[in-house]
A and B are shown apart, each in its own frame.
Chain A
Amino acid sequence: AQTVTQSQPEMSVQEAETVTLSCTYDTSENNYYLFWYKQPPSRQMILVIRQEAYKQQNATENRFSVNFQKAAKSFSLKISDSQLGDTAMYFCALDVGNMLTFGGGTRLMVKP
């Protein structure tokens, strides 16, 4: 069975600053994919960034980057130059064997 843990239920950051959201996971599989999804108040799930487990290089998508530590089973998300529109719920997710498991989520508030 797979588990995903997000230890920060809520976080806040000042606009233009950097914030890091934590995620740890557990799986016995060696091949898997990790994701960060954003869910704004509209409830639409938006893919933020994706990481293949077999790639050592950390994924980057504009202001979003990850720190993937496979041995530690850690997958944190760094948001640089935070914007008001980044305010949302953020979910870490593990995709193994055609099954996606979500973490409990972190509510991020970007303050002006």
Chain B
Amino acid sequence: GAVVSQHPSRVICKSGTSVKIECRSLDFQATTMFWYRQFPKQSLMLMATSNEGSKATYEQGVEKDKFLINHASLTLSTLTVTSAHPEDSSFYICSAREGSSYNSPLHFGNGTRLTVT
């Protein structure tokens, strides 16, 4: 079946540094990818929708200058947490839609646990 690879699975960084998280669709082309944030024992909150070749659409309350999203190809989207602070520590999950229609299946990466010290 379709696979989405998310890397790294865990990252620890110092406050003030930037961290890049990659989301790759391994065996399909993904016109649209989604980035979620999940706090402990809570649900997934959509941060932004990433469309290949265009600017990402951010949800209300998500700082676009802090969470930079790039979707330069049909198989790769990246989320960069800039000038990270301890409150950015969280679990980040990407998902990719297989195909271009809205009813195409959605596949999830394994997530990235970010710890900012």
Give the interface of A toward B (CB within 8 A).
33, 42-45, 47, 52, 91, 95, 97-105, 107
Contact = CB atoms under 8 A, between A and B. Distances in A.
Interface residues of B, number: 22
B54 interface: no
Interface string B54-71: 000000000000000000
Majority secondary structure, B binding face:
strand
B106 A99 contact: no
A105 B102 contact: no
B44 interface: yes
Given A33-B103, A44-B110, A45-B108, A104 B43 contact: yes
A99 B103 contact: no
A95 B46 contact: no
Contacts of A100: 34, 46, 95, 106
Nearest to B91: A43
A101 B97 CA distance: 14
B111 A99 contact: no
A40 to B, nearest CB: 11
Interface of B: 32, 34, 38, 41-46, 49, 91, 93, 95, 97, 102-103, 105-106, 108, 110-111, 113
A40 B45 CA distance: 18
B49 A45 contact: no
Given A42-B110, A95-B103, 13 more contacts: A43-B111, A44-B111, A45-B44, A91-B44, A95-B102, A99-B49, A101-B46, A102-B45, A103-B43, A104-B42, A104-B43, A105-B43, A107-B41
Contacts of B45: 102
A45 B111 CA distance: 9
A109 to B, nearest CB: 14
Nearest to A98: B102
Contacts of B38: 43
A107 B95 CA distance: 22
B84 to A, nearest CB: 20
A105 B32 CA distance: 24
B66 to A, nearest CB: 22
